[in-house]
């Protein structure tokens, strides 16, 4: 059955299930990512937040002595992927992989360590084909990061990454420019490319990323902007699609989401593909709303 969430506080949800802007409901298949796992490679997650409904778990930390989210970024990102109120895949399970400290900083080493842990965890639990990872972070170009993402991709784990917030060519940043990643730029509520969003040939798709409401680390909600908010809309969409359809290899899943996307509605894409995320609401079985 199709479920319709009326007037979602995160406007990005309504945009995701509509071909036109300013929609007022989020329509999605009731399976909603119920068989999927999302690795949130970030600052950590407040796994006790009530909007996560006990579906969030601590996985690993590459930061000595820190396991929670003292920063807020990771909890917000996780909420967009799959929290009850603000999330795309409302029944997914997510795993906190802390690679950035409570000031929000880390190194390529801590990030790669987290990515490798996520892949090994998915393999150990025999759920690579039910899993995705989100990386809403950016640094300078790194061959080691490219290699780690390529290894995960070849193993079957989709890595969704933020394009970055420098209003410049995305090709200069990692993991955004990694060939194996699905790279996400940001739009605002009027379908304009966000003024801060990176752009260019390595962008795969656009998703909402301005003034996005989601879970806050202290148990409430907060609005934040960034390609960091756009990426989890796509990670959540991938988790959702894995639960309602067949497994697709990472590159195929990214291409599938690009195929579903609404074409030529983004203003000022700056040489990026003009594709705005769409969840294929029509794919869901129409049996009334819940």
- Of 18, 36, 42, 142, the active-site residue reads 42
Contacts of 185 (CB under 8 A, 6+ apart): 163, 170, 193, 194, 197, 198, 199, 203, 205, 206, 207, 209, 227, 230, 269, 272
Domains parsed from the chain with CATH numbers = 2-283 (3.40.50.200)
The closest of 10, 74, 19 to 47, measured between CA atoms, is: 74
Could you tell me the two tokens for 158? 């989709």
Question: How far is it, in rounded angstroms, from Cα 264 to Cα 266?
Answer: 6
Model pLDDT, residue 283: 61
102 is catalytic: no
73 is catalytic: yes
Looking only at the bridges linking them, the beta strands covering 37-42 and 131-135 are parallel
- Of 18, 61, 73, 197, the active-site residue reads 73
- Of 228, 231, 243, 272, the active-site residue reads 228
**Is 0.85 topped by the overall pTM?**
yes
Model pLDDT, residue 281: 79
228 is catalytic: yes
Average pLDDT per block of 10 residues along the chain, 290 residues long: 94 96 94 98 98 98 96 98 98 98 96 98 98 97 97 98 97 96 98 98 98 97 98 99 96 98 97 96 50
């Amino acid at each position: 059955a199709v479920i319709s969430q009326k007037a979602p506080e995160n406007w990005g949800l309504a945009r995701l299930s509509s071909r036109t802007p300013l929609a007022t409901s989020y329509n999605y298949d009731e399976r909603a990512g119920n068989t999927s796992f999302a690795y949130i490679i970030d600052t950590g997650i407040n796994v006790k937040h009530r909007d996560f409904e006990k579906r969030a778990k601590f996985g690993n930390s590459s930061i000595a002595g820190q396991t929670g989210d003292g920063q807020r970024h990771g909890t917000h990102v996780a909420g967009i992927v799959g929290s009850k109120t603000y999330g795309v895949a409302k029944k997914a399970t997510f795993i906190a992989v802390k690679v950035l400290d409570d000031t929000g900083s880390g190194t390529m080493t801590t990030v790669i360590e987290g990515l490798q842990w996520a892949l090994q965890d998915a393999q150990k639990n025999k759920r690579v084909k039910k899993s995705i990872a989100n990386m809403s972070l950016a640094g300078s170009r790194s061959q080691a990061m490219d290699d780690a993402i390529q290894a995960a991709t070849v193993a079957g784990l989709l890595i969704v990454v933020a394009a970055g917030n420098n209003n410049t060519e995305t090709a200069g940043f990692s993991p955004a420019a990694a060939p194996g990643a699905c790279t996400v730029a940001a739009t605002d509520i009027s379908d304009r490319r966000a003024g801060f969003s990176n752009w260019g040939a390595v962008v795969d798709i656009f998703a909402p990323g301005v003034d996005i409401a989601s879970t806050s680390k202290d148990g409430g909600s907060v609005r934040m902007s960034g390609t960091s908010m756009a990426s989890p809309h796509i990670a959540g969409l991938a988790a959702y699609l894995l639960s309602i359809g067949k497994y697709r290899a990472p590159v195929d899943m990214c291409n599938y989401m690009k195929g579903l996307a609404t074409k030529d509605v983004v203003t000022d894409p700056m040489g990026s593909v003009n594709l705005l995320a769409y969840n294929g609401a029509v794919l869901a079985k129409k049996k009334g709303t819940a």
